[in-house]
Structure 1
């Protein structure tokens, strides 16, 4: 290991750049659908040794060393995001004649921008770099802060945050209940980078010991919470649910040539008899934008829904909502969720707050539209964001906190008390991404929101992965990618746990502060030894 570390440290030119790209790309194997979390150990070990080489030249100025660290981190990030997000180009092929030109921007341009955060992480770590365990703590500090910034700045995009690699299965997801995504991310980087100490030996014993203890705590807490922890709920209520996954091709949805057929397919799946051994569903859920027209402008559609629903049943469906502004102004359009009763009456609605850039709106619209940049979903002016999100409350009193599609990747979109809701509802349309890693990655990230909050999750997709997830991230039942049908199951509802988002944030900053302190103290000792 020492010989290998030494050879990597001395690499230069295209060999160093190529290895940095490779190190990032290999880390993407830790994300769904592969889930090889051990790949991150290879990825971050190589990154540490590369940074040892890019920061270890005493003859270079501090500015040049920082630049070298940034470039190494940026190349690492470029490899990671291209390998992990290449499937975004599939969405542009749905309407290839209009958007194929933008595929390089999605497959290379977006990763190049996201990689800036990883370049920043490496440069920040370089400021307190040392030759022992301290540099592992510095890297964890840099990446922890960078991932938090990536999930926050410019509306955020925390897709495939490093912490997800450490949480592929429920046993390994439970730490997020205490630490949140970004707390797990910071500590994960420390553990993933710890094998790099085998290449230099300094700080080997304490570094590996801490990594082993963190791993044991991660797995031990997961096992305790799944098997021995007291239940998070004091009482349980159960409702029968049907998730409708029609698996309609996205090109067909966009053509708008068979709106009636699309609508009727949803109705047919809704009216099917219950699955064997299941009760008649109390709640039927349709996916995002499943109604192919403006509901409030088509009263006949509401009548049809009322005819199909049986007494006491409620439909929750995604649809586009139009809001007239009058005085010759065009209407505002919202990506919405409606709750409709058996009389075809709209009981309540909630609009999407966190829109998808370039999918639902164009950032810097006035400038980019001059260059022909349009949003994927063609509406006059795109979608408008809602000012706030409203829980959907059933006549029985059970309430869902709604997240539409992309909103489910943001831990901060869910308030500490779920605004009084009992469960999370996520409707989506992952048909945009076809049979690629995209739907699997989206599913994992949605699933983690249930674990972080300690409440169940209903997830319904047009074509993606529809499922009922319990408060520990276990899949109660589900429909796989490309499956078309209706899933009948039971959702158990309990009280909302005490833990909240403030605690997640507080614990994240405590972790980050501890890592930064260790890195800073180690760097002081390193400087003294060098002098």
Structure 2
């Protein structure tokens, strides 16, 4: 029996050691993602998180969830410090404070749904097993659009190489997250049964574990299914130009001739390729200033029947608006404007109050306008390419909804903003997931890396060397057909989670009502 001097493990976890354990568990999520790719740590982290929430008050559960989120985002996205300090010209003390505030805000947004979970679902066994995965996935979905969204550190990304990858073309990344969390919740529930020696519930535990095991096995089987198809005639050769231009000189007019010369030197040996891709804002000029550059590229690419695709900043002189765009030249046609912008990097939230306070709020590109919805992609002869710029590729439903009848996807980026941190590697992994979800080859061209090509199965077919100026060449295939995820997006998964949420609330209310019935 526990005494004041000999508390039980459960009583200890109700105090600050439980918060510390939640903090450490949250940090383990980062190990399941790129570049570490130790996917089993996500299962361990969520199981421990479930365990530390048991028996807490609503307020304590919210606090415990905040510590978990603080560990997850503190370890997983602390690379924003590089942008704030190295390229936002913010002093070290202020950069540390701003990074901590950013991470804390993300942790707060993460934690709020768990107050709701603890109050309305956690006290019922069915409520816990149904409610916990539902509230987790709905939280991930919320973070994909709340305040324009920050869809980072989703559990499903860590399983792009596990058995669960087979579910990605069916459910998308949210479905993978769901299976991870319901697996961990089932394991935590079994642990509780053995701790309480409650043999009446062992059968329920066995059923729940068999159910989640079947989901993993189904994922393994789904990996063998071909949702989209291609033939040898659909083969195309692609060259990715990675100029590795330092951000410090990118928009300095003194370096403009040298930058353009380097781009041409990396491109000229590869005019035999079907497609050549330059990275985000590769041309260091506004669109109306780059007429001569574009005309020269148009002429060379048409002579070689090559499609060249490049990022460029487009200035609408009539509307006094600036857009982050992708332009097709030569055999390629059309221009696309980025729809999802990066806060502070491309626009300043609350600009009226923040602009001018510190250098970070006055980054040179933070004047970009969002492009319109329902834009056409880049056309190349009789096929089309769905374009995405930088941040856009991390939005699962945006990518699926904008795919249309495109047979290929391209994304361009400039991850130099995050230096030699894990941020670009996480970005690379998320692009892989988009290729797998939609059954399309995906070309990823960047300024400093990682540039590469992913197959319609999310496999890495070609990968460049980070922070090296180079051109790399590989093959892609135009693919036909659609995956279930492309057709429906995340709607079925989100609808299932909402249904499970309602059932979880129902089961807890029913259990509490039965518990108060007179004998």
TM-score when scaled to structure 2?
0.88
8 A Cα contact 2:241 2:278, kept in partner? yes
Deviation of the 1:388 alpha carbon? 2.4
Aligned partner of residue 10 in structure 1, secondary structure? helix
Deviations 1:446-503 (A, max 9, x none): 1111122122211111122211111111122221433431121121112131524563
Whole-angstrom distance in 2 between the partners of 1:205 and 1:316: 59
Report whether the alignment pairs 1:332 with 2:321.
yes
Q: How many residues are aligned here?
A: 501
Q: How does 1:14-413 map to 2 (within 5 A)?
A: 14-54=16-56, 65-95=57-87, 97-98=89-90, 103-104=95-96, 106-126=98-118, 127-130=120-123, 132=125, 134-165=127-158, 167-169=159-161, 171-201=163-193, 203=201, 205-207=203-205, 209-221=207-219, 223-227=220-224, 229-230=225-226, 232-233=228-229, 237-253=234-250, 255-273=252-270, 280-306=272-298, 308-309=300-301, 310-325=303-318, 331-341=320-330, 347-369=333-355, 371-372=357-358, 374-375=360-361, 377-379=363-365, 382-388=367-373, 390-413=375-398
Closer, same or farther: CA 483–389 of 1 in aligned 2, 3 Å: farther
Structure 1 unmatched ranges of 5 or more:
55-64, 275-279
Give the TM-score taking structure 1 as reference length. Answer: 0.86
CA change 1:48–1:225 in 2 (3 A) is closer
Q: Deviations over 1:404-431 (max 9, x none)?
A: 0000010121344723211211101111
**3-state SS of the aligned residue for 2:456?**
coil
2-side partners of 1:351 and 1:103: how far apart? 31
Instruction: Give me the CA root mean square deviation.
Output: 2.7
CA contact (8 A) 2:280 2:414 kept: yes
Q: Which runs of 4+ in 1 moved over 6 A?
A: none
Instruction: Report the Cα distance in structure 2 between the residues aligned to 1:208 and 1:475, rounded to whole angstroms.
Output: 38
CA contact (8 A) 1:246 1:484 kept: yes
